[in-house]
Amino acid sequence: MPGTSEPIVIVLAEDNEGDRRLTAEMFAESRLANELHCVEDGAQLMDYLYHRGAYSDPATAPHPGLILLDLDMPHKDGHQALREIKADPVLSRIPVVVLTISSEEADKLKSYDLGVVHYLRKPVNPKELIDVIQDFGFYWWEIVRREPRANGLTERRG
């Protein structure tokens, strides 16, 4: 039955401010009642996950139930961050979905080899990006409807 599990925290690692804003808006408008936290690159993502620096307070950087990961970011790219996440016994349990502009088959294969659960190609057109994010929300909602306790996503009430 939908709505029986608690919402999860979702962390979006995305260097493009417009894409971060648009993704946050789409999640706010979706049926998913989950808390979205944004970081700007792979280095910030690792700081968030390990509660370092600006993310040292676990209350402001709660443990995520899902990571949305761009690949092409400064300081530490998505594949580097993914490699670190999957090497950590605790962090490796967090599902990671790649959300990237890259259409390179090598990036997709490498991402799956490193342990992502899904690879979404992010279109350049904002309208198409909205569609991808909405489809992603529907995809996760269908999983929730079938297995609400398996992943912690819940329907927004009201």
Is 113 within a domain? yes
In this prediction, residue 149 has a pLDDT band, given cuts at 50, 70 and 90, of very low
Predicted TM-score (pTM) of the model is: 0.80
- Please tell me the total count of domains within the chain: 1
Is 153 within a domain? no
Is 1 within a domain? no
How do residues 25-63 score in pLDDT, each as one tens digit? 777 776 556 788 999 999 999 999 999 999 999 999 999
Q: Find the Cα–Cα–Cα–Cα dihedral 129, 103, 18, 83, rounded to 10°.
A: 120
Contact between 78 and 44 under an 8 Å Cβ cutoff? The reply is: no
pLDDT at residue 12 tops 80: yes
- Residue-level pLDDT at 157: 35
How do residues 106-141 score in pLDDT, each as one tens digit? 999 999 999 998 888 876 776 776 676 666 665 555
Is 4 within a domain? no
- Residue-level pLDDT at 101: 85
Is 155 within a domain? no
Is 17 within a domain? yes
- Residue-level pLDDT at 150: 42
Number of Cα atoms under 13 Å in the Cβ half of residue 103: 2
Q: In this structure, what CATH number is given to the domain that contains residue 124? A: 3.40.50.2300
- Residue-level pLDDT at 126: 67
How do residues 66-90 score in pLDDT, each as one tens digit? 899 999 999 999 999 999 999 999 9
What strand order describes the sheet that includes 118-121? 35-39, 9-13, 66-69, 96-100, 118-121
Range of the domain at 113: 9-148
Compute the distance between CA of residue 104 and CA of residue 144 in angstroms, rounded to an integer: 30
Contact between 48 and 94 under an 8 Å Cβ cutoff? The reply is: no
The alpha carbon of residue 153 and the mean position of all alpha carbons in its chain are separated, in whole angstroms, by 13
